[in-house]
Amino acid sequence: MTTETVITNPRETATSVLYASGVWKAYRRGWWPRRRTFPVLKGSDLTMFPGEIVGLVGENGSGKSTLMKVLVGDLAADAGTVERTESFGYCPQVPVLYERLTCDEHLDLFGVAYGLEAGELDSARTSAYEELDFARFANTRVEELSGGTRSKLNLALAMLHNPRLLCLDEPYAGFDWDTYQRFWELTARRRETGSSLLIISHFIADEDRFDRIYDLVDGRTVLR
Amino acid sequence: MTSAPVPASTPEPSFTLSLTRQWMVEHGRRPINVVLLIVVPVVFVTLSAGALADFADILGGASDLGEVEAATAGWAAAVLAGVAGFFHVSTSRDADSRLAAAGAGAGRVVASRLVSTAALVALASLGALVALRVRTDLATSPRVIGATIVFAVIYAGIGVTVGALVRSEMNGSLIVVFAWIFDVFFGPAMGGTAGFIRILPLHFPTLVVTDVASAHAGPLGDVGLSLVWAAVAISIAVVALTATTRPRRHVVRRTSPGLRRVGAAWSAANRQLRRMPAMWILILGLPVAFISASIAVTPSDPTPVELVENGHRGLRLLSMADVHGAVMVPITIGFLASLAGLFVILDSAQADRRLSLTRFRPVEILTVRMAVIAGASLMATAVSIAITAVSFRAVSWSLFILANVLVALTYATIGIIVGPIFGRLGGLYLLLVLPFIDIGLAQNAMFDAAPPAWGRYLPGHGAVRVMMDGAFTPTFDETGALLLALGWLVVLGAVATTVFRRVTVS
């Protein structure tokens, strides 16, 4: 088995914004003598090109979130290659936020983290609030937000800097119907401007919204 | 015939005086200012001077009623001038800046603010001296009059500086009032003579007004150092006021991306910490409960304590109340600092991990988290030492403080390590027990004159030995213990860094 290789710069030889090949990952749980290994990914491959919306589907526990974490660099693979554009945004499945900061304070902090200048940040903030319709919670702390609004902020942080690649792990969990529709409208707008979106989804009904869909079966990706 | 144009930057006396008059009218139109001018001197000088004298006597300060009465006039003038100076500047800061930009010039606006502040100083001093005159004829003494004015000038300078720099009215006024409370109740009239208390602004003026020679004022004398304090306070106020009144140049400053990220993370981390009310209740409340109660219930019977003096290790008999007072400080600090480490890390670990996927470098996030935890730990240290200082006098305050800072940083790093490994509940239980076993039992001279053999291997051993040395002996003889404490800190710091990296970076 090859050693783990995660490269954070794009490969110039291809036009892909994301290229993963032969990704292996296993979790090790428990202490000796009950130490056990649970293999999750067994050589997954995935490629994305500019302007694509790609779905990643699979049963509960099939390793979708694990694969996405490996793709964005949140988790080290045991083996395999990942190449990815530097301009990417990641929306984790469970909103990962600072409980005591407000929405505005989150957007400010992540704006600086993405290297946005003050003017760009103002514009990005306004756009995020408008696209997901939660401006009225701008000064509300996360600990006081509903689950749906947390999900909106979670998504807004991923797309704040208008990245070339968006990796979204079930981003619409907790959205109401209107926000769900808004979400697909904004993905369409992003795609028109050349951005690519990798979305983990459970909904078969969403199938026609994707350009391609990967099924994750037995730790391997299968193009549908 | 044409007149020569006046340069805009040259202060024009008539315009400055006109502005000053406007400021005074504006100040007088706030009824609370007039009410304070009457109420504060009446309460401090006329009604409570006797009670304050009794309090000072209990604390070992001035026992003569006349001395305290004279000081009350200065205290009243100081708080009046400080609060008036603060609101005089803070409520009009943006308008002043706009006025300066409109052509009045920062120099003229600042000059007029200073003249009107001087008028407020005169009013505050006058009010305090009139109240003093009602009680006693001390108010006619040139020494008392002069010192009272110096009290007012110093606090007017502090008030103006805080008003120029702190945007929130509530926060700014609290800073001025708390500084004043600390200054008064830890001042020489209340028995405060320890080393670090001498740097308080009213230390020397209080000695002047109570007619007590300090014997530590150097060639300038108590009067000279009082005047130096007044000059420094006013100078800082002028610099701060000028900086905030001067029209901004429209220059875009380019901050390095790394500094900008650290600044943003620092700002966000501080907000998070401020919004942890339980932590603040613990930091402020626990020292009061732990330390004050421990000292109050401990008899002053002698107890043997092992100390090193001039290189000789031996037993000394010390008051149990003093030993308990000294030992309760690191126990409290160890507990609070470890909790600060635990909760700050656990509260932010997942989101920090997400942040590390952006352009943030792990070292930037780690620096900010460590700094915030260190800040909270040092706050707990300051509160604990302040509470102890009410009834306990360390022989060497600087060494006592250094040792407790070491305890704070050591246990804060332990909290950082324990949190991610044991989780919130497990970590909390462990951190309830560990400081208690280490500092509360093993290093506690109340139980044993010298620590048991196993206690020497615990992280608090070196720092507590240094603390005992500073608390009870005039010379420093615990170099080995200090190095041991620093060694623990370096090792734990390295482990904490590794744990933090594992939590926030894949």
Side-chain-facing half-sphere of A9: CA atoms under 13 Å: 3
Side-chain-facing half-sphere of B149: CA atoms under 13 Å: 13
Residue A10's pLDDT band, with cuts at 50, 70 and 90, is very low
Residues of A in contact with B251 (CB under 8 A): none
- Tell me the β-bridge partners of B304: B317
**Cα gap A216→A57, rounded to integer Å:** 6
| Cβ atoms of residues A97 and B351 within 8 Å | yes
C-alpha radius of gyration, chain B, whole number: 27
Q: What is the model's pLDDT at position B91?
A: 74
State the SS3 of B460-496.
CHHHHHHHHHHHHCCCCCCHHHHHHHHHHHHHHHHHH
Interface test with B, best of A65, A72, A96 (most B CBs within 10 A): A96
pLDDT tens for each residue of A33-91: 888 899 999 999 999 999 999 999 998 889 999 999 999 988 889 999 999 887 889 99
Domain boundaries, chain B: 9-248, 263-506
Q: What is the model's pLDDT at position B194?
A: 60
> What's the length of chain A?
224
Q: What is the model's pLDDT at position B66?
A: 66
Q: Which of B268, B350, B358 sits opposite A96 (nearest CB)?
A: B350
List chain B pLDDT tens, one digit each, 506 residues. Answer: 334 344 444 445 666 777 777 777 777 766 666 777 777 777 767 766 666 666 666 656 665 666 677 788 888 888 888 888 888 888 777 777 777 776 677 888 888 888 888 988 888 888 888 888 887 777 678 888 899 899 999 999 999 999 998 876 767 777 887 788 778 877 777 766 666 677 888 888 888 887 777 777 777 788 888 899 999 999 999 999 998 888 665 444 555 777 888 888 888 888 888 888 888 888 888 888 888 877 877 788 888 899 988 888 888 999 888 888 899 999 999 999 999 999 889 888 888 888 888 888 888 888 899 999 999 999 999 999 998 988 888 999 999 999 999 999 999 999 999 998 888 778 888 888 889 889 988 898 888 888 888 999 999 999 999 999 999 999 899 999 999 999 999 999 999 999 988 888 76
* Residues near B58 by beta carbon (within 8 Å), at least 6 away in sequence: none
Q: What is the model's pLDDT at position B103?
A: 66
Q: What is the model's pLDDT at position B49?
A: 67
Q: Which of A73, A99, A109 sits opposite B264 (nearest CB)?
A: A109
Residues of A in contact with B275 (CB under 8 A): 100, 141
**Which residue carries 């003017």 as its tokens?**
A119
Name the 3-class secondary structure at A44: strand
If we measure between CA atoms, which residue out of B181, B157, B28 comes closest to residue B82?
Answer: B157
Q: What is the model's pLDDT at position B63?
A: 59
Q: What is the model's pLDDT at position B424?
A: 78
Q: What is the model's pLDDT at position B244?
A: 85
Closest residue in A to B256 (Cα) is A115
Q: How far is A96 from chain B (nearest CA, A)?
A: 5
Residues of B in contact with A76 (CB under 8 A): 506
Q: What is the model's pLDDT at position B400?
A: 94
pLDDT tens for each residue of A161-192: 999 999 999 998 888 889 999 999 999 999 99
Q: Which of B265, B272, B360 sits opposite A100 (nearest CB)?
A: B272
Q: What is the model's pLDDT at position A128?
A: 94
User: How far, CA to CA in Å, does B158 sit from each of B165, B222, B233, B320?
Assistant: 11, 20, 6, 40
Name the 3-class secondary structure at A56: strand
Residues of B in contact with A98 (CB under 8 A): 268, 272, 347-348, 351
Interface test with A, best of B358, B361, B372 (most A CBs within 10 A): B358
pLDDT tens for each residue of B65-76: 666 777 888 888
pLDDT tens for each residue of B121-163: 888 888 888 888 887 777 678 888 899 899 999 999 999 999 9
C-alpha radius of gyration, chain A, whole number: 18
Cβ burial A143-173 (10 Å sphere, 16+ → b, else e):
eebeeebbbbbbbbbbbbbbbbbbbbbbbbe
User: How far, CA to CA in Å, does B339 sit from each of A10, A158, B243?
Assistant: 43, 32, 39
Task: Using the predicted structure, report yes or no on whether residue A9 has a pLDDT greater than 60.
Answer: no
Q: Do A100 and B271 touch (CB under 8 A)?
A: yes
Side-chain-facing half-sphere of B238: CA atoms under 13 Å: 14
Q: What is the model's pLDDT at position A50?
A: 92
Burial of B275 by CB count in 10 Å (0-12 exposed, 13-18 middle, 19+ buried)? middle
Q: Do B359 and A109 touch (CB under 8 A)?
A: no
Interface test with A, best of B267, B272, B354, B361 (most A CBs within 10 A): B354
Residues of B in contact with A150 (CB under 8 A): none
ipTM for the predicted complex: 0.72
**Cα gap B249→A90, rounded to integer Å:** 39
Size of interface A-B (CB pairs under 8 A): 59
pLDDT tens for each residue of A96-147: 889 889 999 999 989 988 889 889 999 999 999 999 999 999 999 998 999 9
